[in-house]
Amino acid sequence: EVQLLESGGGLVQPGGSLRLSCAASGFTFSSYVMSWVRQAPGKGLEWVSAISGRGDSTYYADSVKGRFTISSDNSKNTLYLQMNSLRAEDTAVYYCAKSVIASAGPNWFDPWGQGTLVTVSS
Amino acid sequence: DIVMTQSPDSLAVSLGERATINCKSSQSVLYSSSNKNYLAWYQQKPGQPPKLLIYWASTRESGVPDRFSGSGSGTDFTLTISSLQAEDVAVYYCQQYYRNPITFGQGTRLEIK
């Protein structure tokens, strides 16, 4: 069974940093594009970032480019999101999600993790 | 970026009746060489992550009840629930994966009338 388990969320002050992790199991982690998708309280879904299975290609939404860094450790089957210069508008539940097709292109997500809440507030 | 616009924002339907949710993309998500529409639908219940329902615009994910169906092509798509059940109360999202950045519709909240 494919499982994704996020951790690392919490309360951080504006301008601060946080690193999220997503532990994956049940599939060949290095074969799939992995993404972070966030959801602000009471709002819709926003794709944040993605990384290729080999970790050699990364993609970012304009809203986080230059502040967030996605990475992965295939030896640990773990996805990361380093978030710097955090703003109030980054407050959201952050989900990690697995792409369905084992390719480098964008595709749909299944499954999603349960999410981890990041709150940016003073 | 491809903008995805859903309608309506919210919808109330009686149990056993049909529910229809629309999704329009700002540009075509039909890839001509494969003749596939790069569009997915998700269901999200309160406190839960999104659940995949439909991909390639009309292919139902394994285990999804057959009352859920997807249709459309190019820029206009529809998610239909043929006979609404109480457990279908949720927010529904469409998503394009034609090109990066991946984008979602704003969501449609489905309730029981």
pLDDT at A106: 84
The C-alpha of A61 sits at a distance from chain B's nearest C-alpha, in angstroms, of 6
Q: Which helix (H) or strand (E) holds A121?
A: none
Smallest Cβ–Cβ distance between A45 and the set B50, B51, B100 belongs to B50
* Cα(B71)–Cα(B76) distance, integer angstroms: 9
CA angle B26–B32–B36, rounded 5-degree value: 80
pLDDT at A105: 77
Q: Flag whether residue B63 sits within 8 Å of chain A, measured between CB atoms.
A: no
* Residue bearing tokens 């991946």: B102
Going residue by residue through chain A (122 aa), what tens digit of pLDDT does each one get?
999 999 999 999 999 999 999 999 999 999 999 999 999 999 999 999 999 999 999 999 999 999 999 999 999 999 999 999 999 999 999 999 999 987 767 889 999 999 999 999 99
Q: Flag whether residue B21 sits within 8 Å of chain A, measured between CB atoms.
A: no
pLDDT at A101: 84
pLDDT at A67: 98
* Binary contact (B103, A109; C-beta < 8 A): no
* Cα(B104)–Cα(B25) distance, integer angstroms: 10
The C-alpha of A108 sits at a distance from chain B's nearest C-alpha, in angstroms, of 6
pLDDT at B10: 98
pLDDT at A70: 98
pLDDT at A99: 94
Both tokens of A43, joined, read 């709002």
Distances (CA, A) of A78 to A9, A39, A65, A114, B70: 15, 21, 21, 15, 34
- Per-residue pLDDT tens digits for B43-100: 999 999 999 999 999 999 999 999 999 999 999 999 999 999 999 999 999 999 999 9
Neighboring chain A residues of B103 at a CB cutoff of 8 Å: 47
Q: Flag whether residue B70 sits within 8 Å of chain A, measured between CB atoms.
A: no
Burial of A75 by CB count in 10 Å (0-12 exposed, 13-18 middle, 19+ buried)? exposed
Q: How many residues are present in chain A?
A: 122
pLDDT: which is higher, B3 or A55: B3
